[in-house]
Amino acid sequence: MNKLEKAIELIELDKWHECHELIQDGDNKYYYLIHGLLHRIEGDLSNAKYWYNRANESPLDNTINVEIERLKELIKNKT
């Protein structure tokens, strides 16, 4: 399991703080999207928007569970 997959697993286990520590230093789109998701979960939407923008994406209005599944697919299919 790579670091990104581990981060998603931690989110699914409601271990957001551990996930945040794991991805804090990541420097690519996938880390930014996970970071944005964490802030969405925490209700910090302005910070979530910042991280989605860093990933060159607009914040989505989907549910948290749908976003988790979307990120799983993105990570699985990343090149």
Q: Give per-residue pLDDT as tens, 20-74.
A: 999 999 999 999 999 999 999 999 999 999 999 999 998 778 999 999 999 999 9
Give me the pLDDT at residue 60, please: 77
Kindly tell me the sign of the dihedral angle through the C-alpha atoms of 53, 58, 63, 68. negative
Could you count the other beta carbons within 10 Å of the beta carbon of residue 25? Answer: 7
Alpha-carbon gap, residue 34 to 2, rounded angstroms: 14
Examine the pLDDT at 79 and tell me if it is beyond 70: no
Give, in order, the Cα–Cα distances in Å from 59 to each of 34, 45, 79.
Answer: 12, 9, 22
All structural domains of the chain with their residue ranges: 3-76
